[in-house]
Amino acid sequence: MIKKFKPINKAYKFRIYPNQEQQELIDKTIGCSRFIYNEFLTKTKEENYQSYTKYSRQLPQLKKEYEWLKEVDSIALQQSLKDLDRAFKNFFSGKYNYPKFKSKKSARQSYRTQKFIRSSGSTNIEIKDNYIKLPKLSWVKFVKSKKVKGKINNVTVSKSRAGKYYISINVRQILKTVVNNNQGELGLDLGIKDFLTTSNGEHIENPGHLSKYQDKLAKLQRRLARKEEGSNNWKKLKKKIAKVHEKIKNIRKDFLHKLSTRLTKENQLLVIEDLNVKGMLKNSKLAKHISDCAWNMFTTMLKYKGEWYDCIVHKVDMFFASSQTCNVCGTKNPKVKDLSVRTWTCSCGAAHNRDINAGKNLLKQGKLDLGIR
């Protein structure tokens, strides 16, 4: 048994309860941050993108032109420019599309502020009991469901479609992990009927988070259709629908976090298939179920938690025929392309469960890719 200590960046998310004045200031700061992002993105349409440094020097002049920008946290405006700078760097790398304008109607409404220590030794962000001190907002009450460990880097303040306010506290902390020499290796086959099937035969049932609330959502949507768009009753129903979707999202994330943490802590190697989720969503019959599974979110969690807990997470090429290939003799059975075929017997006599066989093949191929015997 080996103990390891490693520095990591981690985020703690909590719900906050700002008073009316603080709510108005949060909404205003979100709006101003969006304005700065869009204003300088417009500049890039007229001239080639310059740099964060050049644009940040133009902020004081912009504040003179628009007096209301002085009312909000100045660090949030700078961070908005940094977001734009990062968006252009991602675009220039060739991996992402050209940055888009931010909309007040988008699901994500937030701003980020940075922590710093003044010459006097005081700081602009600190936590005392269940209150957090934030620039311009002063002390805000929050639900402290767990202890915040580590040195605070920055805080993101967000507002959901349901009208709830949250903070995400990014910290730098030292993570202590215990590595056992006898930890396992697993191939993971993601699916819809079973969310996950491992190469050792474990089946993780798909919770079907969305389907459990489907009837409730349908009822609310029918009521919404009968209301006049933009009316007070229409807005109330929109908020009710947003609350149900938020509940589904939170339950889903909780399930994915717990499963990904367990798998990365218990194993030294996890092999998954590099799924083309975007292409799979074009299947109208399965799109809703695939979206509900949130495979991309799950694989992202496995990746960064694998780094935390010294677990290698490897993706096998999406064109690898994991379900169709016999893990014993390597014979390929094209009939297994039919998703209704759950069990089959190979010509060598080996009997297979479709998903377990896929998990075993993924593990074998992953070890081959990595040069592990």
Same-domain check for residues 142 and 197: no
Cα gap 144→360, rounded to integer Å? 42
189 a catalytic residue: yes
Q: Do residues 201 and 291 share a domain?
A: yes
189 and 173 inside one domain: no
Cα–Cα dist 302/356, whole Å: 20
Are residues 13 and 42 located together in one domain of the fold? Answer: yes
Q: How far apart are CA 270 and CA 131, in angstroms?
A: 40
**267 and 230 fall within a common domain:** yes
Q: Indicate the pairing of strand 203-205 with strand 267-273.
A: unpaired
73, 85, 292, 355: the catalytic one is 355
* Residue at a domain's end among 147, 179, 211: 179
Question: Which residue, 179, 197, 226, sits at the end of a domain?
Answer: 179
How many alpha carbons fall within 13 Å on the CB side of residue 160?
Answer: 21
273 is known as an active-site residue: yes
Torsion sign over Cα 339, 345, 350, 351:
positive
Same domain, 301 and 166: no
Domain ends where: 124, 154, 179? Answer: 179
Are 246 and 155 contained in the same domain?
Answer: no
Residue labelled with tokens 């730098």: 172
21 is catalytic: no
- Whether residues 211 and 236 share a domain: the answer is yes
Beta strands in the chain (DSSP E): 2-17, 109-114, 126-128, 131-134, 138-142, 151-159, 165-179, 184-190, 194-198, 203-205, 267-273, 312-316, 343-345, 351-353
Shared domain for 71 and 123, answered yes or no, is yes
> Is residue 29 within 8 Å of 136, Cβ to Cβ?
yes
Which of the residues 73, 85, 189, 292 is marked catalytic? 189
Do 203 and 148 share a structural domain?
no
Same domain? 271 vs 212: yes
Query: For 180-250, where are the E strands, in sequence order?
Result: 184-190, 194-198, 203-205
For position 182, what pLDDT does the model report? 47
Instruction: Provide the residue count of the chain.
Output: 373
Provide the b/e sequence for 332-343 (b: ≥16 CB within 10 Å). Answer: ebeebeeeeeee
Same domain, 120 and 200: no
- Tell me which residue range forms the domain holding 228: 184-370
Active-site option among 273, 292, 307, 338 = 273
- Each residue's pLDDT, cut to its tens digit, for the chain (373 residues) gives 556 678 889 999 999 999 999 999 999 999 999 999 999 999 988 888 888 999 999 999 999 999 999 999 999 999 999 999 999 999 999 888 999 999 998 878 999 999 999 888 889 999 999 999 999 999 999 999 899 999 999 999 999 999 999 999 999 998 877 655 547 899 999 998 899 999 999 999 999 888 899 999 999 999 999 999 999 999 999 999 999 999 999 999 999 999 999 999 999 999 999 888 888 888 888 888 888 899 999 999 999 999 998 899 999 998 888 888 898 898 888 888 887 888 888 988 888 888 999 999 999 999 999 988 7
The total number of structural domains in the chain stands at: 2
